[in-house]
Amino acid sequence: MLAKFNLKKASSTLSGISAAHFSLQRRRFSAAAAIRSDAIFVHRDTPENNPNIPFEFNSKSMDEAQKIVAKYPPQYKKAAMIPLLHLAQKQNGWTSISVMNYIAKFLQVPPMRVYEVATFYTMFNRSPVGKYFLQVCTTTPCQLCGSSKIVETIENHLGIKIGETTSDKLFTLVEVECAGACINAPVISVNDDYFEDLTPEATVKLLDDLKAGNAVTRGPVSGRNNCEPQGGLTSLTTPPTGPGFMVRDDL
């Protein structure tokens, strides 16, 4: 009996030592602090965002909305929620609580279903933004090509920081992850248009043209065609062959 007790005691002691040993040897994978979202996922009524502010589609948006809903079977029209929210945001400038409630009524779904979608996707702006919504990509390829300089240039030229809007309500600046135009980095999305191959000088000119109401040309500012190589084509340099190329005459 005594031997059994000592064996249990020894086992318990070893377990304690092992636990202490392993706790001392534990290491974190990262020492960096977790970065949390700057967006709030609950609604708080404000003078510019409350259910008492009316919203409904204008005639142009209503025609487009009917075309969107017609793509889905009647019992699945709620699948049109994302394109309808995008359409409403395009008309209103941002996705207010009134916009979300209107879309819920339009699709005959509980408002919570729309709230869930609008708070999940960051493309829906749930607070007012400027006339020109500047989204600067700072993911690795853009970072390597100088996106930090582009952000710094915009901040200095407009006098705002990431997440802020200019006092004249013309520009809102945000930082985004991967605009999907890596070969044309660095890139800014202005509303629905991409401006690529940017330099600090080209960025300042773009901002000044937008502010002055001048026409701007979307795409690469470097002059290259879309995402073709900067030095010109290195393949596919001849016209494509027609039907029957290298096919036997008797076939």
Cβ count within 10 A of residue 35: 6
Strand pairing class (171-176; 132-137): parallel
Strand pairing class (219-220; 188-190): unpaired
**Which residues on adjacent β-strands are paired with residue 137?**
176
Mean pLDDT of the region 205-217? 94
Quote the pLDDT of residue 240: 83
Answer yes or no: are the C-beta atoms of 102 and 55 closer than 8 Å: yes
Tokens encoding 114: 């729309």
What is d(CA 131, CA 165) in angstroms, rounded to the nearest whole number? 10
pLDDT bin (cut points 50, 70, 90) of residue 12 is: low
Distances (CA, A) of 98 to 49, 77, 94, 155: 8, 20, 11, 32
What is d(CA 236, CA 225) in angstroms, rounded to the nearest whole number? 15
CA Rg value for the chain? 28
Quote the pLDDT of residue 109: 95
**Which residues on adjacent β-strands are paired with residue 136?**
175, 188
Q: What is the pLDDT of residues 220-243, one digit of tens each?
A: 998 888 888 877 778 888 888 888
Three-state DSSP class for 98?
helix
Q: What is the pLDDT of residues 116-157, one digit of tens each?
A: 999 999 889 999 999 999 999 999 989 899 999 999 999 999
Average pLDDT, the chain: 86
pLDDT bin (cut points 50, 70, 90) of residue 18 is: low
Residue 207: what residue type?
L
Mean pLDDT of the region 88-106? 96
Answer yes or no: are the C-beta atoms of 246 and 240 closer than 8 Å: no
Strand pairing class (188-190; 193-196): antiparallel
Three-state DSSP class for 190?
strand
Q: What is the pLDDT of residues 20-50, one digit of tens each?
A: 555 555 556 556 565 555 566 788 889 999 9
Quote the pLDDT of residue 246: 82
Tokens encoding 79: 């699948």
**157: closest CA among 217, 206, 222?**
206
What is d(CA 167, CA 111) in angstroms, rounded to the nearest whole number? 33
Task: Tell me: pLDDT of 62 over 80.
Answer: yes
Express as a percent the part of the chain with pLDDT over 90: 61
SS3 content of the chain, % helix, strand, coil (to 5): 45, 10, 45
